[in-house]
Chain A
């Protein structure tokens, strides 16, 4: 077995919450990511799905070390990046992990020319400047399918889809090994979405990239991912190959989540399933299985004992008490 590109063990990220009492300094914690184990092989695309508030973004922020983790380790390329210094991060790690943010209207500096937006990582890490920088940026623009004359334009001159292409070019400028895609298509319209997805797929094949894709649009996840991880309230409830998760999900949460996606073949609103209730608070997560408050197939044991992840198949895991019986 190959060495995984990134290996996450028992990762936790808690955020402190101030209590309302003036004299009581009882600290509470939002358990945004609560004990996650994860391995990502080089060349894979991992789809991270779950409702908002389940900890997807926090997990990614910790992976990129935009936030420091509370506990646990992240081994990237043989280096535990939760412990290394910021300088080490910048010199060794950052150029290998890049991110494409959700909203291309906010993630590009409106005062910078496209040349500088894409060129900034190059001038920081590879000390490129002048003509060499322009040439490199031109080739990146070409790679993401933008015309060469975009070099001296400002971000506002582009449409949403084109801006996302600029963001992708910036992320790929340093030839990273891992690219995090945080809802890459949620704020652009459907035609550009298809083109961006196609571009991402092509770039992955061409450059041998590894993606972590976050999206609530499950059809997008299905299209791009090799493996899917379903999260609920800071924990992984099910993970496995994309086709298996889509066709035979075993966890009730995954099943409910996938039955809520509208598809072109549906005729009636009643075919859409809903999950009752809201995601419980991450400050006091429910005891036992965290999904038991909303689970349609809840059993007495669910509120008492937390289910452990069980291998359903070779690389298909799920954490649910139903699986034992």
Chain B
């Protein structure tokens, strides 16, 4: 572990990822910078197809090759560039041990032909070398940790005998079985009921505090990210268009995309939803990725790509005192202007 103050615990620099297609390489992800401090929760919000999952897979080195290509950039984790690690190093040192991931769909993540116990034990045996009694004991501990009842019985059950919430808890147990310090949660509550969703989030939150983990939370629900994460980033077509403290972003969105995203959440019947009439303009090849749907875009938006700029807004100024990095960033030439 490095003690350098200037270095961030987790940092993505100029990352660009593309997919090989018949029409040449198509860029899917283009992130100038994304930083997560130790013990911090960062929520990444975006539509489907924005590149959220690709980012998660890239971090873990699970990007399908040779279709997926890392074109540029680096992902620094605790001072080490993950992209430069060999597959063997990733598998032995990082993946599953220091980095863990909870995948999207609890219904299809677990293997249906093995019992829950076998699936947990396999991971522990591989990563920690435990066998027999010790292994069983550890598995039961893990099931306890995720607050599942009747663990002795549960361990011999097959995934189909369990509900979605229980399965997701088991997946969390497996993910954290080897003391991960960095957790990627890719829409962990996507297919779950709201009543169960709250329980799973509270569990992740508690474990995050207990283990002092950093969490990269990927979601498409802005209000969920707002509640769960300290910082939030908004991803649009593979680019980070806005970033900041999550309640600043929600209360005072700067980028027109974030503004539409937040106004698109139905709140109550009395409140009429605001729809920016989507006038689909032609794509701007060299310009802002949001240009084709933007309502305030001017000519120069189609010529240049806006970079993330720092803004000091009133809501961020209030919380300035206790936070190191209070600025809100947005990638728009006309950010902050009202639609």
Residues in A lying within 8 Å of B, measured CB to CB: 51-52, 160, 188-191, 193-195, 197-198, 216-220, 222-223, 242-243, 246, 256-257, 260-264, 266-269, 271-275, 278-279
Please provide the 10 A-B residue pairs with the shortest distance between their CB atoms, ordered closest to farther.
A194-B264, A223-B266, A189-B47, A272-B198, A274-B199, A260-B194, A274-B198, A51-B193, A262-B223, A275-B195
Q: Which residues in A have their C-beta under 8 angstroms from that of B49? A: 189
* Chain A CB within 8 A of B292 CB: no
A160 to B47 CA separation, bound complex (whole angstroms): 11
* CB atoms of A267 and B247 under 8 A apart: yes
Distance in Å from the Cβ of B12 to the closest Cβ of chain A? Answer: 23
Q: Which residues in A have their C-beta under 8 angstroms from that of B199? A: 274
Q: Which residues in A have their C-beta under 8 angstroms from that of B266? A: 194, 197, 219-220, 222-223
Q: Which residues in B have their C-beta under 8 angstroms from that of A222? A: 266, 268-269
Distance in Å from the Cβ of B263 to the closest Cβ of chain A? Answer: 8
* CB atoms of B278 and A190 under 8 A apart: no
| Chain A residue nearest in CB terms to B162 | A278
Please judge, given known A-B contacts A264-B226, A266-B223, whether A190 and B269 are in contact too, CB under 8 Å: no
| Chain B residue nearest in CB terms to A54 | B193
Please judge, given known A-B contacts A219-B267, A223-B266, whether A195 and B202 are in contact too, CB under 8 Å: no
B181-198 contact mask (Cβ, 8 Å, vs A): 1 or 0: 000000000000111111
Please judge, given known A-B contacts A263-B223, A263-B267, A274-B202, whether A191 and B261 are in contact too, CB under 8 Å: yes
Distance in Å from the Cβ of A3 to the closest Cβ of chain B? Answer: 27
Please judge, given known A-B contacts A190-B261, A223-B266, A223-B273, whether A260 and B198 are in contact too, CB under 8 Å: yes
In-complex Cβ contact of B278 among A160, A195, A220 (8 A): A195
* CB atoms of A264 and B223 under 8 A apart: yes
A220 to B267 CA separation, bound complex (whole angstroms): 8
- Other A-B contacts than A262-B226, A268-B227, 8 sampled, CB-CB below 8 A, are A51-B195, A51-B196, A191-B261, A197-B273, A223-B273, A260-B197, A264-B267, A269-B228
Q: Which residues in B have their C-beta under 8 angstroms from that of A274? A: 195-196, 198-199, 202
| Chain B residue nearest in CB terms to A217 | B194
* Chain A CB within 8 A of B221 CB: yes
Residues in B lying within 8 Å of A, measured CB to CB: 47-49, 163-166, 193-199, 201-202, 205, 220-224, 226-228, 247, 250, 260-269, 273, 275, 278
Please judge, given known A-B contacts A198-B275, A223-B266, A272-B202, whether A257 and B194 are in contact too, CB under 8 Å: yes
* CB atoms of B197 and A279 under 8 A apart: no
Q: For the complex, would chain B's binding face be called helix, strand, loop or mixed by DSSP majority?
A: helix
Q: Which residues in A have their C-beta under 8 angstroms from that of B221? A: 190, 262
Q: List 23 A-B contacts (CB under 8 A).
A: A51-B193, A51-B195, A189-B47, A189-B48, A189-B220, A190-B221, A190-B222, A190-B261, A195-B275, A216-B193, A219-B266, A219-B267, A222-B268, A222-B269, A242-B269, A257-B195, A260-B194, A260-B198, A262-B224, A262-B226, A267-B247, A272-B202, A278-B165
Please judge, given known A-B contacts A160-B48, A273-B198, whether A194 and B223 are in contact too, CB under 8 Å: no
A126 to B202 CA separation, bound complex (whole angstroms): 54
A197 to B275 CA separation, bound complex (whole angstroms): 11
| Chain A residue nearest in CB terms to B266 | A223
Distance in Å from the Cβ of B256 to the closest Cβ of chain A? Answer: 12
* CB atoms of B47 and A190 under 8 A apart: yes
Please judge, given known A-B contacts A190-B265, A278-B163, whether A267 and B198 are in contact too, CB under 8 Å: no
| Chain B residue nearest in CB terms to A197 | B266
Please judge, given known A-B contacts A219-B266, A220-B266, A272-B202, whether A264 and B222 are in contact too, CB under 8 Å: yes
Q: Which residues in B have their C-beta under 8 angstroms from that of A273? A: 198
Distance in Å from the Cβ of B183 to the closest Cβ of chain A? Answer: 16
* CB atoms of A193 and B227 under 8 A apart: no
| Chain B residue nearest in CB terms to A257 | B195
Q: Which residues in A have their C-beta under 8 angstroms from that of B222? A: 190, 264
Q: Which residues in B have their C-beta under 8 angstroms from that of A219? A: 265-267
A220 to B269 CA separation, bound complex (whole angstroms): 10
| Chain A residue nearest in CB terms to B199 | A274
* CB atoms of A272 and B47 under 8 A apart: no
Please judge, given known A-B contacts A222-B268, A272-B198, whether A198 and B273 are in contact too, CB under 8 Å: yes
| Chain A residue nearest in CB terms to B273 | A194
Q: Which residues in A have their C-beta under 8 angstroms from that of B195? A: 51, 256-257, 260, 274-275
A268 to B227 CA separation, bound complex (whole angstroms): 5
| Chain B residue nearest in CB terms to A271 | B227
Q: Which residues in B have their C-beta under 8 angstroms from that of A268? A: 227
Q: Which residues in B have their C-beta under 8 angstroms from that of A220? A: 266
Distance in Å from the Cβ of B238 to the closest Cβ of chain A? Answer: 15
In-complex Cβ contact of A193 among B205, B224, B250, B264 (8 A): B264
Distance in Å from the Cβ of A183 to the closest Cβ of chain B? Answer: 11
| Chain B residue nearest in CB terms to A189 | B47
| Chain A residue nearest in CB terms to B247 | A267
Q: Which residues in B have their C-beta under 8 angstroms from that of A190? A: 47, 220-222, 261, 264-265
Please judge, given known A-B contacts A51-B193, A222-B269, A278-B163, whether A264 and B264 are in contact too, CB under 8 Å: no
A35 to B196 CA separation, bound complex (whole angstroms): 26
